[in-house]
Structure 1
């Protein structure tokens, strides 16, 4: 009997294997082409690029509770499967559409047993997690909280709106974006070339305009693109030569219309009505028509839009035009009488009245906006127009919005349309009647808005991730800042003044001697990362000791890199790792012209697109010997002629060294010669230092750079004699001064002089 049971088990395993193989063969192309590892994953560079926190966490198998949020076809489920393939923990998955509390409890019980008996952690991936009701989500919470399971949720809805707040607060959220056209093209080419999973074994030719149509209409959705390709290939007969040829007509039949992503109860609903109301308030009829067209196309209830316009008529127009409420109410009554589609005319008329407040067939501009809804691939609400009432603090929604009532004439130039449509004109007021006098003023406002959008570069990108605060890190940062003293704290604040951080930024701190310049990026870039280079192992050990209390994933990476070997740093970094910020205080101070040139020649290999370099050059205007000379002169102190001569020679040598060092001018010229646009800010800082044993050691000890160079220039006895002189003057106040130069460099835009 045991042998029979074993044989039966073997037969069962064989059938299971064959069934799995058959399912793989008949699976849709989009499923067969899923990446198996991070290196095959396409897109989402802002959160998964080399050096980013999420990539490092997956590689280190230290992924905590995650919620992946984004539109369909951008890689949420694929990313979860990649985590499943790399973790050493048990990985289980549920689909919230099919599973209930019974299945959830079974998975939790199995995870609890694994943890208790074998000490094995368990990941639970829940696809479409927003489909779980409140009771089901509540059932998850205790087990997530006590660590029995680690949750990875995927949702197309805003987790702040659809997911239990307690689960959200215990998870790190990542917002995945629609794929870029270049990413989609890579997927298309991979599907056509892959012999095992794609169509690499079949002769297929796809015309350029056909592939362009597929990429455009897919709208950033990889699944939509691959489904369209599969439909085109499988429904097209080969030619006489056996080749399947896909032209534009076939591509158009395979994918005909771009989907307008819109959820009537979630983010798109609140974000779009927020953008619409803000466009009315901002007196921008073009943007108002666009957002109105998007809501109508997505099936929003026009009565809801009329209600919001009635509120806007009272709140944002008020007594400046008492007829606004009358007009909106009359348009609403007309809409009730004629219905759709003719009711679109009074709907657009009310919006135009509110946006312009003072009649022809110009309302046809609404249909121009409707065409743009169909034709434009990127329709994301600009971050500053999104609804900030629910998750603005976490994802930065609404940040940067300018409240028009706070400005003269209750109007301010800012962007209301999506970036891809900036400058589009949907409404052209006629020359007669009430709207006849609006043309000139409207043109001035449109021109001002275009100028403001170009100058302020408002398309900065939206915040892609958020997570729980780390109180331990905040306490550690406060202690570090407090230990540096007021003078260095002021210097740190000036160094980072005006910086606009992204949470996923990566920062490289060059040749650091303390953690001071790393504190701000450590706090501001939790999903990015900080890399610090030091010149000696002793410095590395000293800084590592200060970082021991931090969680390992939040610690900066400390790399020991000789100050004259930039290639050593590049070889140490992960392939493709680049930095949005390259910073340091006098990192090239001890290098000659050739050493500085070597670093600047490799700087582009370290810089990400749109990277910024911040370098603070702090040069003393007077060195130790010069300060001692001035102190002796003030005190009218007599000394042996030989010592006086030595002091004079040391001051002269020192003055030459200060003048010949790698100053800010050489650094600025070197960056500009390599295509960087550099701004420099200079200021002088007067200092008064007390002569002490510690100061003498910093100047004259055997390992001190100043002492070594002085001995080489004036002989080995010179250092000892000047150290003795400073010991005789111990306790005296030395007057010194530093010349600070802050260089801020950004890469010039190609082909645009001066930018």
Structure 2
């Protein structure tokens, strides 16, 4: 691909010899304006960037930066870290977004990297939301990464084990970014409140330190949520006579709204929350189960998805230890289907409490698993003749139904007539759970 074909994609990186700083536009969102400019400003993630980490050692020793996948929740600094690593290592920063880019843009970026390499400039290719690339788009990166044409850093909120193909994953190190601590986010908020150029100091906000700490906790590790909430609350607060803006806890709570629930119906966190609910129910912890139920509901989960999970647990983990458990779960599912939300949260809560406090038994699951194992190893075992229906005279002549005993007329048949194949005679699968166990 010639240079003209790529013109316009990377013109902002031309010949300056440095990477562009985050925009100083005063109208840019606060989260963008406060993006760290140096590694010293970068908050948290000591396991990824600290002195003992692979990346930290490479930067401090001026070694070669490995291609990496940065995996972590939103607002934990993936894009910022990639930009800072490029600057610290003297690499040209070429960003792409997997939302807006395809194979054409990837190839253009690689061609640009080759052009810059011939001039002695190494390139860090950053791909945001790399999990959105399909296999062909990811494969287009393989040769360039393997040959060292680019140092790739991909950012993803999804588990790379499932979303990044094995060939590309084998060429990259995976760095897990954790949600930022409350102290980290509180420090970020304090800096935003006091920074004269990039922050909110010009609006003269006044917020109690304890309220700032509360917002830091509400953000649950997401710096972007915290900064966006702070900015909206400050802007929505009218100035007093002296020009200051006294921002209340209520104003912050209103600005936060649904952003506090870091929930994605299709993302891994959806299944993590569901797993936490089921494991809490299985452990008979009603309080924890209600908490995870609330996290799912308030985050916008499909209530019928929750109801289906409750129905499964009612049989898998309770079963005949309390047959009413399935009735409760099925009734909750039916009611939610009929009335919807928000009223549906009450039958879901009732079923959750019932299932958590019900006696537990895995007897049904164990019984089926044992039967399935035998079914697999004896799949060609014929059905005993006495259990076959003699539908035609020929079938009767060859013995179908011969020896069958009708239990209602012959109660002894219950003990004397076997209904398993001969090779499995006497096999026991189901052990009835004792009451309360």
Q: Structure 1 pair 308/245, CA: closer, same or farther in 2 (3 Å)?
A: closer
2:299 is aligned to 298
Q: In the aligned structure 2, how far is the partner of 1:201 from the partner of 1:291?
A: 41
Name which one, 1 or 2, has greater alpha-carbon Rg.
1
Q: Structure 1 pair 151/287, CA: closer, same or farther in 2 (3 Å)?
A: same
Matches within 5 A, 1:683-722: none
Matches within 5 A, 1:309-388: 309-357=310-358
Counterpart secondary structure, 1:125: strand
Q: Structure 1 pair 113/279, CA: closer, same or farther in 2 (3 Å)?
A: same
Q: Structure 1 pair 147/50, CA: closer, same or farther in 2 (3 Å)?
A: closer
Deviations 1:371-392 (A, max 9, x none): xxxxxxxxxxxxxxxxxxxxxx
Q: Structure 1 pair 129/244, CA: closer, same or farther in 2 (3 Å)?
A: same
1:129 is aligned to 130
Q: In the aligned structure 2, how far is the partner of 1:334 from the partner of 1:234?
A: 43
> Post-superposition shift, 1:78?
0.9
Matched, 1:66 2:68: yes
Q: In the aligned structure 2, how far is the partner of 1:229 from the partner of 1:97?
A: 28
Structure that is richer in strand per residue: 1
2:398 is aligned to none
Matched, 1:215 2:211: no
Q: Structure 1 pair 327/248, CA: closer, same or farther in 2 (3 Å)?
A: closer
Q: Structure 1 pair 183/404, CA: closer, same or farther in 2 (3 Å)?
A: farther
Q: In the aligned structure 1, how far is the partner of 2:22 from the partner of 2:297?
A: 46
Check whether the contact 1:161–1:266 (CA below 8 A) recurs between aligned residues.
Answer: no
Check whether the contact 2:97–2:128 (CA below 8 A) recurs between aligned residues.
Answer: yes
> Post-superposition shift, 1:100?
2.1
TM-score, normalised relative to structure 1: 0.42
Counterpart secondary structure, 1:63: coil
> Post-superposition shift, 1:201?
5.5
Picking from 59, 82, 85, the partner of 1:83 is: 85
Aligned CA-pair RMSD: 3.3
Counterpart secondary structure, 1:135: helix
1:196 is aligned to 197
Matched, 1:56 2:57: yes
> Post-superposition shift, 1:23?
5.5
1:626 is aligned to none
Q: In the aligned structure 2, how far is the partner of 1:42 from the partner of 1:234?
A: 25
Matches within 5 A, 1:589-668: none
Q: Structure 1 pair 278/41, CA: closer, same or farther in 2 (3 Å)?
A: same
How many residue pairs match? The answer is: 347
1:224 is aligned to 225
Check whether the contact 2:233–2:252 (CA below 8 A) recurs between aligned residues.
Answer: yes
Deviations 1:216-273 (A, max 9, x none): 3333222222223333444445443344443445444443455211222221122222
Check whether the contact 1:282–1:404 (CA below 8 A) recurs between aligned residues.
Answer: no
Counterpart secondary structure, 1:229: helix
Matches within 5 A, 1:424-503: none
Matches within 5 A, 1:565-580: none
> Post-superposition shift, 1:200?
4.6
Check whether the contact 1:61–1:86 (CA below 8 A) recurs between aligned residues.
Answer: no
Check whether the contact 2:320–2:361 (CA below 8 A) recurs between aligned residues.
Answer: no
Q: In the aligned structure 1, how far is the partner of 2:55 from the partner of 2:23?
A: 34
Check whether the contact 1:130–1:157 (CA below 8 A) recurs between aligned residues.
Answer: yes
Check whether the contact 1:228–1:255 (CA below 8 A) recurs between aligned residues.
Answer: yes
Higher RCO by CA contacts (8 Å cutoff, separation 6 or greater): 2
Counterpart secondary structure, 2:96: strand
Matched, 1:98 2:94: no
1:730 is aligned to none
> Post-superposition shift, 1:292?
2.2
Q: Structure 1 pair 346/189, CA: closer, same or farther in 2 (3 Å)?
A: closer
Check whether the contact 1:313–1:324 (CA below 8 A) recurs between aligned residues.
Answer: yes
> Post-superposition shift, 1:326?
3.8
Q: Structure 1 pair 90/288, CA: closer, same or farther in 2 (3 Å)?
A: same
Unaligned runs of 5+ in 1: 1-12, 14-18, 359-402, 407-437, 443-755
TM-score, normalised relative to structure 2: 0.70
> Post-superposition shift, 1:87?
1.9
Counterpart secondary structure, 1:189: helix
1:425 is aligned to none
> Post-superposition shift, 1:41?
1.0
Check whether the contact 1:213–1:252 (CA below 8 A) recurs between aligned residues.
Answer: no
> Post-superposition shift, 1:185?
2.0
Q: In the aligned structure 2, how far is the partner of 1:21 from the partner of 1:172?
A: 26
Check whether the contact 1:209–1:248 (CA below 8 A) recurs between aligned residues.
Answer: no
Q: In the aligned structure 2, how far is the partner of 1:251 from the partner of 1:275?
A: 29
Q: Structure 1 pair 310/61, CA: closer, same or farther in 2 (3 Å)?
A: same
Matches within 5 A, 1:251-266: 251-256=252-257, 258-266=259-267
Q: In the aligned structure 2, how far is the partner of 1:217 from the partner of 1:282?
A: 28
Check whether the contact 2:21–2:37 (CA below 8 A) recurs between aligned residues.
Answer: no
Q: In the aligned structure 2, how far is the partner of 1:69 from the partner of 1:100?
A: 21
Q: In the aligned structure 2, how far is the partner of 1:21 from the partner of 1:72?
A: 19
Deviations 1:149-191 (A, max 9, x none): 2210112222223222322232211222222221122112222
> Post-superposition shift, 1:285?
2.2
Check whether the contact 1:129–1:153 (CA below 8 A) recurs between aligned residues.
Answer: yes
